[in-house]
Homo-oligomer: A and B are copies of this chain.
Amino acid sequence: MRQAGRYLPEYREIRARAGSFLDLCYAPDLATEVTLQPLRRFSMDAAILFSDILVVPHGLGQQVDFREGEGPVLDPVESAADLARLDLNRIGVALAPVYEAVARISGELPSNVTLIGFAGAPWTVASYMVEGSTSRDFARVKAWAYGDPAGFKELVNLLVKATVEHLSRQIGAGAEVVQLFDSWAGVLPDEQFQLWCVEPVAEIVTLLKARHPHIPVIGFPRGAGGQYLGYATNTGVDCVGLDTTVPLDWAVERLSDARVLQGNLDPVALITGGEAMRSMAATILERLAGRPLVFNLGHGILPSTPPEHVAELCELLRADGD
């Protein structure tokens, strides 16, 4: 999950002078600074690039705005005909500041801290591109996917290519692991999940592994519920990110044989702190004992999180890991 954010006063200070949220993502010096901020406070094994999954549609040429308190607003793509407005060849130039940030962060991180790059998975990015904003019911993007699968597949294919390009350039600049965030994986029926969440991610993994065979890929199909197993089995990702709700006994039994698990402390436990936080973290460590685990939150860190709770959690994990 994003480690930087509004819970840190030093982030809020930089955010206040950066102009828009996208301006912050595209300023290599500021993106580097906010990526490194949590590392200066907390003892963490990895840093994750500060960026946003919507830089990809923006890089393709779609209008994207972040409005304060409202979330992202995009000029919607509504049919295959609208794809003519988008251009895969823009990515390299338009997103060059992101890759420059990756290179700077890579240069500043100590060698024992891993740098994670990331992108949105095609279904989630397509949801924003078609809905034009955060959606409650995903009616537009689903109606397109269900009613005109061939046309929708053109959009998804474009996103597969753009995602591979975006991640490859991050790897070229120094990212050592990449993560695919499928934040809206949890809204599709079974067959549609296979078509729009599993298959495009499998394609991305195949294409990435051909270029960068030693870079691990983490897949995070948030909310996939009963579809987690199909995702873990059929996408080829090296590590599966578990959201907060995934039962760990089940995950260990069904998912952990071939893959690393990542997860899944409820971010609200970090707000609560104290014994509740310690006991929920200890449960994760116990259930995954002896298996490869990337300890993480099961969802993004919340703005009201007290930084001292994060510090306590990191110390607790460090003590367990030593």
Is A9's beta carbon under 8 Å from chain B?
A: no
* A189 CB contact (under 8 Å) in B192, B226, B244, B250: B244
Contact: A268 with B226, CB < 8 Å?
no
Q: Which residues of B contact A147 (CB under 8 A)?
A: 272, 274, 276
Band of interface residues on A: 35 or more
- Nearest chain-B residue to A191 (Cβ)? B283
A138 to B137, CA, bound (A): 19
With an 8 A cutoff between CB atoms, is A208 at the interface?
Answer: no
Closest Cβ of chain B: how far from A245's Cβ, in Å? Answer: 6
Q: Is the interface of A mostly helix, strand, loop or mixed?
A: helix
Q: Which of B139, B244, B272, B299 contacts A271, CB < 8 Å?
A: B139
Considering the complex, give the chain B residue whose CB is closest to the CB of A149.
B276
Q: Which of A137-158 contact B (CB under 8 A)?
A: 137-139, 142-143, 146-147
Most chain B Cβ neighbours within 10 Å, of A146, A186, A189, A190 = A189
Q: A245-B189, A268-B146, A274-B147 are in contact. Are A137 and B302 (CB under 8 A)?
A: yes
Residues of A within 8 A of B (CB): 137-139, 142-143, 146-147, 186-193, 223-228, 230, 244-251, 264, 266-269, 271-272, 274, 276-277, 280, 283, 298-299, 302, 304
